Amino acid sequence: MKRMTLSEWEEKYIRGPVEHFDQKNTMFLRPLWDPEVNSRLDDWSFVGEVKDKPGYRIEDLGLRWAARRGTMLMGLFNWYKPNPSPMAGAIKEVIRSHDPTMRTITGFAPSEDMKIDTSDPERVTRIIKKAARWFGADDVGICRLDRRWVYSHTFQSKGARQISLEPGAKVTGGESLPQRIPEEYQYGVVLVFEEEYDLIKYYPSHVAHAATSMGYSRMAVTNNYLATFIRHLGYQTIDGTTNDVANSIPMAMQAGLGDIGRNGLLIHPKWGPRVRLSKVITDLPLVADAPIDFGVTEFCEKCGICAENCPSQSILHGERTPEPNNASNLRGTLKWPINAETCRMYWARGNKPCTTCIACCPYNKPDTWFHRTVRWFTDHLRWGDPFYIWADKVMGFGRPKSPERFWDQWEPRRH
């Protein structure tokens, strides 16, 4: 594995000016305000339905939604960010003003002159990384805050019922608010959460999506713990718990946590794309990690398994390109841009999310000695890529497992 300098990284991934991305252009939000996108389907939800079939029964869908609860409880009530939701603002008021006994919830607040000693940023960085792991992250990296990845605006949705279907109608499903992060916030602490191999392999059933949900809850809770810890050290934080504030993948790349694959996802050296990401942005002085190269780009150039298997054909088959597919891609970056419109439409049509491009990827493997050895080869003997890819297909690693006996066979892991 090679460490890259930031200028080498820039040369590899940046083509032309990078326009700041407006969060309303993500495919979670476009159906709420873009009449052209909205009119393509009557129902954009992906809640899922119960069927009399293994992997789709009430216990399977229930597992997916119960595992999501941490996100609801922590993420939605997060007011430590530039444009908190009105609900988070209201809760803050209640906690702050209502009842003195609520102090036990807001807890210890250091006074202005009480701060951790930052004369040795290496030591502070070690403390932050250790705390992040203890709070629940499986891996952690630090980047300098590159403001090109921060959303220019955040979008407060008002709920799908208020969407106007009039062509050309202005935003009616919510409100776009400019987002500004003060200059003193110079670092991002990026957290990685492994999703369970033993659940993802049951894709495309509800069981696989339970892993996504648990990843979201873990990142919501852990990110919140870490942001609170940093505030208790006397510094400020922006808590990027629920996907908002900034693009997580380039931050994770710059924090040395992995590289981007053809599937548009961060490939972590140990867990491949089977990870979720969150971040805390802070003014605490830290030491940034360097980006890494372990052969992903070369491997993806030859592989293409995700592009073959994507059920909506949203993943590019050819070369990397700086050309966006549509308004949902960031301009000025060299990669395999996914077609987020067709991907998201596929979720809505099937009334459930999709995780195929994680599950079928050869980098998605359990962390055993055998797979560690293969990974070593893919990094050090890159000329062997066509053989590793052929072997992966022959051995059928990326194929879905039948959920028929899931509840008998599953050995749950403690988080």
Shortest CB 318 distance to ligand B12, Å: 16
Q: Which of 220, 205, 201, 348 is nearest to 277 (CA)?
A: 220
Partner from ligand B12, ligand SF4, none contacting 150, C-beta within 5 to 8 A by type? none
Partner from ligand B12, ligand SF4, none contacting 328, C-beta within 5 to 8 A by type? ligand B12
Number of residues binding to ligand B12, judged by CB under 6 A:
34
Region binding ligand B12 by CB under 6 A among candidate stretches 85-93, 139-147, 324-332, 407-415: 324-332
Partner from ligand SF4, ligand B12, none contacting 176, C-beta within 5 to 8 A by type? none
Sign of CA dihedral 293, 308, 317, 46: negative
Kindly state whether residue 224 participates in binding ligand B12, applying the rule CB under 6 A.
Answer: no
Residue list 354-373, contact with ligand B12 (CB under 6 A): 355, 357-358
Residue list 238-267, contact with ligand SF4 (CB under 6 A): 261-263
Shortest CB 409 distance to ligand SF4, Å: 25
What is the rounded CA–CA span in Å between residue 282 and residue 277? 17
Kindly state whether residue 337 participates in binding ligand B12, applying the rule CB under 6 A.
Answer: yes
Cα within 13 Å of Cα(268), Cβ side: 25
CB neighbours of 396 closer than 8 A, spacing ≥ 6? none
Kindly state whether residue 312 participates in binding ligand SF4, applying the rule CB under 6 A.
Answer: yes
Nearer to ligand B12, 129 or 352 (CB): 352
Kindly state whether residue 48 participates in binding ligand B12, applying the rule CB under 6 A.
Answer: no
Shortest CB 370 distance to ligand B12, Å: 23
Q: Which of 86, 100, 258 is nearest to 175 (CA)?
A: 86
CB environment 110-136: b (16+ within 10 A), e (fewer): eeeeeebeeeeeeebbebbbebbeebb
Q: Which of 87, 116, 121 is nearest to 285 (CA)?
A: 121
Residue 140, H or E segment: strand 139-144
Helices within 323-384 (DSSP H only): 340-350, 356-359, 369-380
Shortest CB 375 distance to ligand B12, Å: 16
Amino acid identity, position 90: A
Shortest CB 80 distance to ligand SF4, Å: 30
Quote the Cα angle for 33-180-146, to 5°. Answer: 100
Partner from ligand B12, ligand SF4, none contacting 304, C-beta within 5 to 8 A by type? ligand SF4
Region binding ligand SF4 by CB under 6 A among candidate stretches 18-26, 86-94, 213-221, 306-314: 306-314
Kindly state whether residue 277 participates in binding ligand B12, applying the rule CB under 6 A.
Answer: yes
Angle between helices 121-135 and 206-232 (to 10 degrees): 140
Nearer to ligand SF4, 262 or 375 (CB): 262
What is the rounded CA–CA span in Å between residue 320 and residue 342? 19
Q: Which of 297, 257, 307 is nearest to 379 (CA)?
A: 297
Shortest CB 272 distance to ligand SF4, Å: 7
Quote the Cα angle for 132-136-142, to 5°. Answer: 30
What residues make contact with ligand B12 under the rule CB under 6 A? 13, 21, 26-28, 212, 243, 247-250, 260, 263-266, 273, 275-277, 328-330, 333, 335, 337-338, 340, 343-344, 353, 355, 357-358
Using CB under 6 A as the criterion, which residues of the chain lie in contact with ligand SF4 when the complex forms? Answer: 261-263, 299-300, 303-306, 310-312, 314-315, 338, 343, 346, 354, 356-357, 361-363
